[in-house]
Structure 1
Amino acid sequence: MVTSPDLIVFDVNETLSDMGPLSEAFAAEGVPGHLARTWFAGILRDGFAMTAAGGNTAFAEIAQDSLTRLLSEHEASAPGDSAERIMGTVKSLDVHPDVVPGVEALSRVAELVTLSNGAAQVAETLLASAGLRQHFSELLSVEDAPAWKPARSAYDHAVQRCGREPGRMLLVAVHPWDIHGAHRAGLRTAWINRTGAEYPGYFSRPDLEAGDLPALADQLERPHG
């Protein structure tokens, strides 16, 4: 039986923000557009490594440093300047097309917050630009927690800040590693699978799966018996 949560916790990067324009930003600097995905995956890898080693380095610090080095390796003409322009694109991303109607629908189901490995200001800008900021009671970042997601302490931080029982909170994300971490911390989970991908067999499965946010809202709003 599907039961509605008291609090919905959204991941931000890729879950809410459409990172597609980053490929064009890389290409505009004269380097292959596919490096955008390589770069983002590298940020997560190094952030996870810092967490595993007991640190908590800011997402933006890892992003800026790794981007400049990646551009240098691919012979960008002015790596530092190119990195600044690409970072500017990151700060001006839009939400996915399903996010506005999905968030509006989900705000009728439960209280909404975000929990990001990035800075809270990035979520603030993204949601304000989309006209959605008023639907979120808090914008949480792991910069104020002991470690990055998917470390348990990141989710515990959200539990403590929001004052809710973990089992009454629903983590919404496109990343299976985030789903797995939240599950192990006692939260319920919803995987947003916009691409029709197969879920990795080695991670804890989500409680819910939906193709987009309005579809998730439909599941939560549907009469339960």
Structure 2
Amino acid sequence: MPHRPKVVAFDIIGTVFSMEPMRAPLVGLGLPSLALDLLYTAGLRDTFALATTNSFAPFQAVLSACLDELLAMQGLTASSKDKQAVLDMMRALPPHGDAKAAFQVLVDSGVRVCALSNGAVKTTQGLLAAASMDGMVEQILSVEDVKLSKPRAEVYLYAAQTAGVAPGEMALIATHPWDLHGAKIAGLMAGYVARGRPYSAVLKGPAVTGETLLDVASEMARI
């Protein structure tokens, strides 16, 4: 039986804040509707390649290179201004509808909350402030502090160390099985936000699974 974590780290991009508003602008560049999914997947591919080889680049730079790749695959070109306008939307993503309530239920139960993102601290700060959620977050942590991207164990261990707890006293809530797998390997508890998608059987499984952010946060608060 899992024990209640002292600290819960939330993944940010995709988990707390939705990338969906970027889909229409990408289609506006001439790309297919699936371009958003392909862009994010390609971005992860390259961040994983960098992390595996002990290298690092900011996620924004990685996505920029992947956007060029997607455009070229479709025989398209776009101005630097138009491409940057799409990428700049990462700084103004909307929170999922239950995100604030999910943070609040943990805070109310005495669990400390932090953010742990592949994005930059400044970007995460802006997203949380715009959603009036920054006051519930104790710390904002980024892979840029470690110069290695998730799912490298060093990222999760850095988060636990910064929070002043043992890895087993921290949990990660995310909608990405690969992220939770990395957290589990590092010794953290994992909470999966399914949103209708199964968790891969080949990855280390989560202690808590729910359809929504609020479901997972509430279950952790009840442990």
**2:43 touches 2:59 (CA, 8 Å); kept in 1?**
yes
TM superposition shift of 1:217: 3.1
1:94 match: 94
Deviations 1:125-182 (A, max 9, x none): 1111110001001110011114111111111111221110111101111111111111
Q: Secondary structure at the match of 2:139?
A: strand
State whether structure 2 residue 161 is matched by structure 1 residue 200: no
1:152 match: 153
Give ranges in structure 1 of 5+ residues lacking alignment: none
**1:58 touches 1:143 (CA, 8 Å); kept in 2?**
yes
1:8 match: 8
1:214 match: 214
Amino acid in structure 1 at the alignment position of 2:167: P
State whether structure 2 residue 199 is matched by structure 1 residue 189: no
CA distance in 2, matches of 1:214, 1:178: 19
**2:173 touches 2:216 (CA, 8 Å); kept in 1?**
no
- Taking a change above 3 Å as real, the CA distance of residues 69 and 198 of structure 1, as seen in their structure-2 partners, is closer
CA RMSD of aligned residues (A): 1.5
2:181 match: 180
CA distance in 1, matches of 2:175, 2:217: 15
CA distance in 1, matches of 2:185, 2:94: 31
2:55 match: 55
State whether structure 2 residue 171 is matched by structure 1 residue 170: yes
TM superposition shift of 1:213: 2.0
Q: Secondary structure at the match of 2:172?
A: strand
CA distance in 2, matches of 1:63, 1:23: 14
TM superposition shift of 1:2: 4.5
**2:47 touches 2:57 (CA, 8 Å); kept in 1?**
yes
Aligned identity (percent) is 29
Map of 1:70-81 to 2, 5 A cutoff? 70-81=70-81
1:128 match: 129
**Given the two structures, how large is their TM-score scaled by the length of structure 1?**
0.93
Q: Secondary structure at the match of 2:9?
A: strand
Q: Which deviates further from its counterpart, 142-151 or 183-192?
A: 142-151
Amino acid in structure 2 at the alignment position of 1:81: K
Q: Which deviates further from its counterpart, 167-176 or 213-222?
A: 213-222
Aligned residues: 222
TM superposition shift of 1:69: 3.4
**1:71 touches 1:79 (CA, 8 Å); kept in 2?**
no
TM superposition shift of 1:30: 2.6
CA distance in 2, matches of 1:2, 1:161: 22
Q: Secondary structure at the match of 1:123?
A: helix
**Given the two structures, how large is their TM-score scaled by the length of structure 2?**
0.94
2:21 match: 21
TM superposition shift of 1:88: 2.0
Amino acid in structure 1 at the alignment position of 2:190: T
State whether structure 2 residue 158 is matched by structure 1 residue 141: no
**2:93 touches 2:127 (CA, 8 Å); kept in 1?**
yes
- Taking a change above 3 Å as real, the CA distance of residues 31 and 217 of structure 1, as seen in their structure-2 partners, is closer
